[in-house]
């Protein structure tokens, strides 16, 4: 019997290649509209309401899936967690998207990934690894429902996707103070509630970063705070190796090392220091909306970037399930160029 959605107040794929449309086998630097000079049509992206409807439909279809409300945003929108827990003793991975509301293609990929978890081809994997997905932490920012001026954001038929939450706070800098309700919900009802081994925090960056002179499709980074335990750091590097091997070998994925900060208030660092979770930051190329139009992803690039998210999530789950993550070679980190 399926469980109903669980609500908590703040106070109290895998054979994806068989089901995902094939994409052109272009090198990423030759991908369509790679310069980012054609703004995305945000009307094709899930709104908050359509995402909730999507999640509820998948929850009704999938016996293994449970849908939980972990808290509310500043504006009172429920924050959802999709979870697949077959055995609490299994290793557990968390996928987190849209801490920044203008970074939505990773959410689109995460939703597609959830759908494929219910295809019936994943039972063996779901018996060996627990999966948690927060597909839209910053729903107010994703809908542009904020208490500050949007004059600096690109007009797009009335909808704007903004980096910050409704109060103008960067949620990915709130993982020590934990002042914002979205951050409180994530920590209290996910990071502290579940025994999580791995986390991939999915973001977007600008369109023009390069590695070895070539444009990149994204960048990755392990936790860099000095208080992270050596064993947590090593497992984080292994998680990064799994993702790098899966994406960089495609021909259309080209990853660099992200030049990120070491503050504990940043999500990947805070989770690693406070909960000993091995974390990986994944920065996808291009944003869904931005004051600087050159940072906005082009409409024609959506498909392979969404597929890049699916590839990342799929590879991580597969490697944890079959144990290959334990023996993956991490030496590539020593020579991986930091993006420019």
The total domain count for the chain is 1
Task: For helices 267-275 and 230-248, give the axis angle rounded to 10 degrees.
Answer: 140
pLDDT computed for residue 232 by the predictor? 98
Tokens coding 190: 């996910």
Residue 34 lies in a domain: no
Is residue 214 domain-resident? yes
Residue 158 is assigned to a structural domain of this protein: yes
Residues 6 or more apart whose Cβ sits within 8 Å of residue 50: none
In a domain, 153, yes or no: yes
Measured between alpha carbons, how far is 75 from 147 in angstroms, rounded to an integer?
Answer: 10
Q: What is the CATH number of the domain that holds 213?
A: 3.40.630.10
The whole-chain average pLDDT of the chain stands at 84
Residue 212: pLDDT band (50, 70, 90) is confident
Is 35 among the domain residues?
no
Query: In the chain, which ranges are continuous DSSP H helix?
Result: 48-61, 105-117, 123-126, 139-143, 181-186, 230-248, 267-275, 302-322
Domain for residue 32, yes or no? no
**Which pLDDT tens digit goes with each residue over 127-168?**
999 999 999 999 999 998 988 876 655 444 456 788 899 999
CA separation (Å) from 284 to 59, 75, 95, 231, 274? 27, 27, 14, 27, 26
Domain carrying residue 218: 6-21+53-334
Q: Taking the model in full, what pTM does it have?
A: 0.87
Residue 2 binned pLDDT confidence (cut-offs 50, 70, 90): low
Question: Considering the domain boundaries, does residue 279 fall inside one?
Answer: yes
Q: Characterize the bridge pairing of strands 130-134 and 78-84.
A: antiparallel
């Amino acid at each position: 019997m399926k469980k109903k959605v669980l609500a908590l107040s703040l106070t109290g794929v895998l054979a994806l290649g068989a089901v995902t449309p094939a994409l052109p086998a272009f090198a990423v630097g030759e991908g369509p509209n790679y310069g980012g000079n054609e703004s995305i049509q945000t009307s094709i992206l899930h709104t908050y309401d359509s995402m909730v409807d999507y999640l509820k439909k998948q929850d009704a279809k999938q016996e293994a899936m449970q849908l939980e409300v972990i808290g509310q945003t500043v504006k009172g929108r429920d924050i959802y967690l999709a979870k697949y827990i077959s055995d609490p003793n299994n290793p557990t991975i968390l996928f987190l998207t849209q801490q920044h509301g203008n970074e939505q293609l990773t959410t689109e990929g995460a939703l597609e990934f959830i759908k494929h978890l219910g295809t019936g081809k994943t039972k063996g994997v779901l018996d060996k690894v627990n999966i948690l997905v927060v597909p839209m932490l910053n729903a107010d920012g994703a809908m542009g429902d904020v208490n500050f001026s949007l004059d600096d954001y690109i007009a797009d038929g009335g909808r704007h996707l903004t980096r910050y939450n409704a109060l103008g706070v960067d949620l990915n800098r709130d993982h020590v103070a934990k002042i914002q309700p979205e951050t409180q919900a994530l920590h209290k009802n996910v990071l502290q509630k579940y025994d999580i081994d791995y986390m991939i925090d999915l973001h977007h960056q600008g369109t023009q970063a390069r590695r070895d002179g070539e444009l990149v499709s994204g960048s990755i980074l392990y936790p860099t705070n000095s208080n992270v335990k050596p064993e947590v750091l090593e497992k984080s590097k292994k998680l990064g190796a799994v993702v790098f091997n899966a994406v960089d070998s495609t021909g259309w994925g080209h990853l660099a090392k992200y030049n990120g900060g070491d503050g504990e208030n940043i999500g990947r660092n805070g989770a690693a220091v406070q909960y000993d979770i091995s974390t990986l930051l994944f920065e996808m190329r291009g944003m869904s909306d931005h004051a600087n139009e050159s940072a906005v992803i082009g409409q024609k690039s959506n498909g392979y970037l969404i597929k890049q998210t699916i590839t990342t999530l799929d590879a991580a789950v597969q490697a944890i399930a079959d144990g290959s993550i334990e023996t993956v070679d991490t030496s590539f980190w020593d020579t991986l160029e930091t993006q420019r």
